[in-house]
Amino acid sequence: MSKFDELVAELCPDGVEYKNLSQVLTIKNGKDYKSFDKGDVPVYGTGGIMTYIDQAVFEKPSVLIPRKGSLDKLYYVDVPFWTVDTIFYTDIRTEVIEPKYVFYYLQAQHLERLNTAGGVPSLTQAVLNTIKIPVPPLPVQQEIVRILDNFTELTAELTAELTARKKQYEYYRDFLLTFKYGVPSVSLESICDIFTGGEAPEKCIKGAFGNDDYPYPIWANGKEVYGFTDTYKINKDAVVISSIGANTGAVFYRKAYFTPIIRLKVIIPKVDYVNTRYLFYAVSTAKFSSKSGSVPNMNAADIKKIEVPIPPIEEQERIVAILDRFDDLCNDLSIGLPAEIEARRKQYEYYRDKLLTFKGASA
């Protein structure tokens, strides 16, 4: 029997009481900070720390809950802080409940489902105050926090290692694709065919999975697949560049037999001395920017002018072999660090939900 099980058996064998959130904490509104001087006190908004000032609105441990915007982004803060009016802070009754326990419990509740607005997602104090939270004895809460902290710290360590590996990957990519002499740089239009994606096919299914009737992926400007259709427009491996919207300039490698949409630019070598995978890495390091305007965008003429170095095909293949290993380690969700981080995330969520469910508890 684990220490947690022993504590539950000893201190709350018949379950625990559920309380309204308003019974264990007070939700308070944030305020404007612009009249204060610069300092070392963090100012939090919905997206995290915005700046630092010399005044604190609160100095005890607190859980910050977004009022507008990204409602799933909760923050636990145990240093003096300030909050703006898009995010609530909480004054927690620590004689009854652990602040970090409140954070983990609310995180598991997916507060975005409580959105009260039709436009910008919003939460109100009235809605939040009625959330039911189980309140076991403090030693049980403290053990839950200890266990979940261990999971969180392990995931943070893995994430930090992945960040370091990505920097290492970018360094070697740039190093391998920098040639001092003897390697010509040529424009994409001289070695590639370049196409622009169109409208989504009428016959398609949206989502992450296709089927036997709709097996061919549809790619748009984002990283995730748009959907699947029963035919395809591109029958070769290709490099694609997002050419409109917030993701403008993002470069991806796409396997053959797909359909591009929403002004996605598709680049396919038209000469046999260019490796498509090498071209992906070379274009990823190219310097280009979007047009200014209300919506960021790039046109085909801009992309055609991009220049990339073209060493002999054998050197291209050597570079691809090295960079593919880095790419798999950093980005492949089925292997390496991304797979381990995803496994730890699922494990954390499983144990978090299990630890926060109590025998005999009633709402």
Say which DSSP state 106 is in.
H
294 band by pLDDT with thresholds 50, 70 and 90 = low
pLDDT of res. 14: 85
334 band by pLDDT with thresholds 50, 70 and 90 = low
pTM (2 decimals)?
Answer: 0.66
pLDDT digits (tens, 9 = 90+) for 255-290: 999 999 988 999 999 999 999 999 999 999 887 666
Looking at the predicted structure, is the pLDDT value of residue 238 above 60? yes
Between these two residues, 226 and 296, which has the higher pLDDT value? Answer: 226
Looking at the predicted structure, is the pLDDT value of residue 362 above 50? no
Please give the average per-residue pLDDT across 303-328, as a whole number: 92
353 in helix, strand or coil?
Answer: helix
CB-based contact 18:135 (threshold 8 Å): yes
Give CA–CA dist 138/76, Å, rounded.
18
173 band by pLDDT with thresholds 50, 70 and 90 = confident
Please give the average per-residue pLDDT across 161-172, as a whole number: 86
- Mean per-residue pLDDT over the chain, rounded: 89
43 band by pLDDT with thresholds 50, 70 and 90 = very high
CATH topology of domain 17-135: Adenine-n6-DNA-methyltransferase TaqI; Chain A, domain 2 (3.90.220)
Give CA–CA dist 189/90, Å, rounded.
58
Which architecture does CATH list for 184-310? Alpha-Beta Complex (3.90)
pLDDT of res. 219: 94
Looking at the predicted structure, is the pLDDT value of residue 39 above 60? yes
Exposed, middle or buried: residue 73 (CB in 10 Å: 0-12, 13-18, 19+)? middle
Domain with CATH 3.90.220.20 in the chain: 17-135, 184-310
pLDDT of res. 363: 42
Looking at the predicted structure, is the pLDDT value of residue 291 above 70? no
Phi-psi domain of 170 (left: phi exceeds 0; alpha: psi -120 through 50; beta: other)? alpha
Which of these, 70, 282, 270, 307, lies nearest to 184 by C-alpha position?
307
pLDDT of res. 292: 57
115 band by pLDDT with thresholds 50, 70 and 90 = confident
Please give the average per-residue pLDDT across 182-186, as a whole number: 90
Give CA–CA dist 302/300, Å, rounded.
5
pLDDT of res. 64: 97
pLDDT over 90, % of the chain: 55
Looking at the predicted structure, is the pLDDT value of residue 297 above 80? no
pLDDT digits (tens, 9 = 90+) for 194-228: 999 988 898 999 988 889 999 999 999 888 899 99
313 band by pLDDT with thresholds 50, 70 and 90 = very high
Which of these, 248, 303, 247, lies nearest to 279 by C-alpha position?
303
Count the Cβ atoms, other than its own, within 10 Å of residue 63.
23
Residues 6+ positions from 166 with CB-CB distance below 8 Å: 330
Please give the average per-residue pLDDT across 62-79, as a whole number: 91
Looking at the predicted structure, is the pLDDT value of residue 75 above 80? yes
Please give the average per-residue pLDDT across 305-323, as a whole number: 94
pLDDT of res. 163: 86
293 band by pLDDT with thresholds 50, 70 and 90 = low
